[in-house]
Amino acid sequence: MKIQELNINSNLLKAVNDLGFTEATGIQAKCIPEILAGKDVFGQSSTGSGKTAAFGLPILQMIQPNKTMQVLILTPTRELCVQVTDSMRDFAKYSHLKIISIYGGVSIQNQFNLIPTADIIVATPGRVLDHLERKTINLHNVKFFVLDEADKMFDMGMAEDVERIIRHLPKERQTLLFSATLAQTVKHIVMKHMNKPVMIQSDLYVDKSLLKQCYYDIENHEKFSILMHLLTENSKGLSIVFCATRRQANAVGRNLQKQGVKSMSIHGGLNQNQRLRALQALRDEHINVLVATDVAARGLDIKNVHYIYNYDVSKTSEEYVHRIGRTARAGEEGNAITLLTSHDHDNFGRILRDHTLKIERKEKPAFAKVFFTAGGDDGSDGGRRPSRFGGSRGGSRVGYGGNSRSSRGGSRGDSRSSYGGSSRSSSGSYGGSSSRSNYGAASRSRFNDSSSGNSSEGSSYGSSRSSGNSHGSHGRYSQNRR
């Protein structure tokens, strides 16, 4: 459907044309008429489907500049907050509306003077609550309330914050909620706070004709070397490497830079300027590779991404689809490559239960071994944290036949690891478990990453002995595994 067929006014059409858009996406074609008709809308659609325009264009058509807050749009992350703000300003180019963003990680003082005369505010929940407590924001005149990426917002523990914000909103309002999945918390918000919402689903599945998906079943100590091999072989366009935790993203990004790869990392541990600088560097193609966590990359619109690398496998098929949905856009082909090790078999099995996904197994390529240097969150090589790479994160180089050792002290235990001999680890606050293993059959043990709220799994091969929070044996993955 052509965008001009959606009854958008001339100012908005002119702005959209300036951006080079002529065709409406599925979610836009279905949502815009319903929103213009004054209905509450719950839109379910995947990343990159044009949700911002789906709610932004009709909202911009239905409000006039009056120097009071009429629209509140909540997003889960600072990056998405900035991105939505930029998009809304692009759409409102000829509409003379004041649109601002407010989020944490920057000075709150600078926001005090902007809020009173803003027509539209795009914000993260925590910063809105900060302003409500200070009485520096008034939500009484809000006509449109938007929850963008609601499922991710609630996954990040923001459901209670959203509820508190809703209590400050007028009951007579139009509520729009957009989510990639229909999680239970999302259903609760829809049923409790929306007025007879129209349910719209569109653009939920990957275009399999444009996206090639594959995985390599490899050993854990081979992972970084194979990633380097693939990045060298697949140099066309931009690449995003997804890691499970900020520590992993830091370590992978740092080692890519040591190998001469133009890369940067983005995760929740960076300040706002660092995160925006990484995104801008990727968009300007000053770097070729972005190493990211799911939370930091959720909802980001980055063009010309040809390769997605799952360095760590996502936990669900929904998260997997979100990741791979960042490539194969706008009629361009894309590639999604998963590096599967013993740690990730359970997660990968859950992904394969989604029969809409066709992921081909490929034989492991011939590759040169590359040393991986583990380090701390601050970018140094002196951090002492448990490693998923077979060695310690105490600044040692992880080799392919030698030993590495990290002493943590106190309740955090100690660990010693190698790729050729035996491995022993003990963990206090990370799970209360200890294990000893040699290389042969497989076993695994889990510890919690308290800094990121995620869990990671360590794996060794051989006979195992474990106590505390450890798990039983686990075999290699094959195409016939169920």
Query: Which residues are CB-neighbours of 141 under 8 A, at least 6 positions away?
Result: 68, 69, 70, 170
- Read off the pTM: 0.58
What is the pLDDT, as a whole number, of residue 283? 79
Q: Are 68 and 119 in contact (CB under 8 A)?
A: yes
- Tell me phi and psi for residue 133, to 5 degrees: -65, -35
- Strands in 454-461's sheet, in edge-to-edge order, are 454-461, 442-449, 470-473
Q: Are 316 and 294 in contact (CB under 8 A)?
A: no
Whether the CA torsion 363, 265, 451, 123 is positive or negative: it is negative
What is the pLDDT, as a whole number, of residue 473? 35
The reply to whether 211-362 shares the fold of 3-201 is yes
Listed residue (291, 266, 261, 263) closest to 276, CA to CA? 266
Cα 389 from Cα 378, distance rounded (Å): 19
Cα 32 from Cα 24, distance rounded (Å): 10
353 CB burial (10 A radius; 0-12, 13-18, 19+): exposed
Angstrom distances, CA of residue 318 to CA of 95, 103, 237, 331 = 37, 27, 25, 22
Angle, CA of 214, 219 and 222, to the nearest 5°: 90
Q: Are 311 and 281 in contact (CB under 8 A)?
A: no
Angle between helices 125-134 and 159-166 (to 10 degrees): 40
Residue-by-residue DSSP string for 334-389? EEEEEEE-GGGHHHHHHHHT-TT---EEEPPPP-----EE---TTS-S------SS
Q: Are 339 and 365 in contact (CB under 8 A)?
A: no
Q: Where are the domains of the chain?
A: 3-201, 211-362, 400-473
Strand 41-44 and strand 174-179: pairing?
A: parallel
Q: Are 402 and 420 in contact (CB under 8 A)?
A: yes
How many CA within 13 A on the CB side of residue 145? 24
**Domain 3-201: which topology?**
Rossmann fold (3.40.50)
Q: Are 242 and 265 in contact (CB under 8 A)?
A: no
Residue 304's SS3 state is coil
Residue carrying the six token digits 């098929």: 317
Residue 92's SS3 state is coil
- Tell me phi and psi for residue 435, to 5 degrees: -150, 150
> Which portions of the chain are predicted below pLDDT 70?
47-48, 203-209, 272, 295-301, 328-331, 375-482
CA dihedral 363, 366, 368, 374 (to 10 degrees): 10
Residue carrying the six token digits 């300040």: 271
What is the pLDDT, as a whole number, of residue 409? 38
Q: Residue 461: beta bridge partners?
A: 442
Cα 428 from Cα 123, distance rounded (Å): 39
> How many C-beta neighbours within 10 Å does residue 459 have?
21
39: tokens are 């209905």
Query: Which residues are CB-neighbours of 282 under 8 A, at least 6 positions away?
Result: 238, 264, 290, 302
Please tell me the CATH code under which domain 211-362 is placed.
3.40.50.300
pLDDT tens sequence across 386-407: 334 433 333 334 433 333 343 3
